[in-house]
Amino acid sequence: MRDKVLLTHKFVELIPRELEANTIYVSVAYATAIHKCCCGCGNRVVTPISPADWKLIFDGRSISLDPSIGNWSFPCRSHYWIRNNRVVWSDQWSDEEIDAGRKKDARATAAHFNRKNAGKAEGSSSAKAKKVNNNGLKSKIKKWFGVKTLD
Ligand SMILES: [Zn+2]
């Protein structure tokens, strides 16, 4: 069993360059949350908030992220949920399970964008512009931090 980890959350407009440990930074403007891997390895974990990525729940006191966070690209390969500012550790996944999870994610993302495209066909140019803009921001954030994200 791992140690119990309690997180603090901070709502920020811009993500600070130096992240404090056990702190989850949430930028509503960028629809992104970022924290240092809860195992203590110090890697930055970026969780974009969107219907195809993570869902952020703020109950007025604490934060939850859904689904779980699997840091397969880090050496620690830690896997946990963030529930009400608590880290709930999961078992490490086998390679097969990681693979299955990735395929499931890919399907969810494809379904999401298919739905978006269907909406676009109905001819909302503002929705289209917004989508392009969002993607631009996302990649900007990724480049900015030089972070390998989970997708
Ligand atoms: Zn770690």
Delimit the domains of the chain by residue range: 5-92, 94-124
Parts of the chain with a pLDDT under 50: 121-130, 132
Q: How many CA atoms lie within 13 A of 120 on its CB side?
A: 12
Instruction: List CB-based neighbours of ion ligand 1 within 5 Å.
Output: 37, 39, 41, 76, 78
pTM: 0.63
For residue 59, report the distance from its CA to the centre of ligand 1, in Å: 26
For residue 22, report the distance from its CA to the centre of ligand 1, in Å: 12
50, 48, 54, 52: which is closest to 111 by C-alpha?
Answer: 52
pLDDT digits (tens, 9 = 90+) for 12-51: 999 899 999 999 999 999 999 999 999 999 999 999 999 9
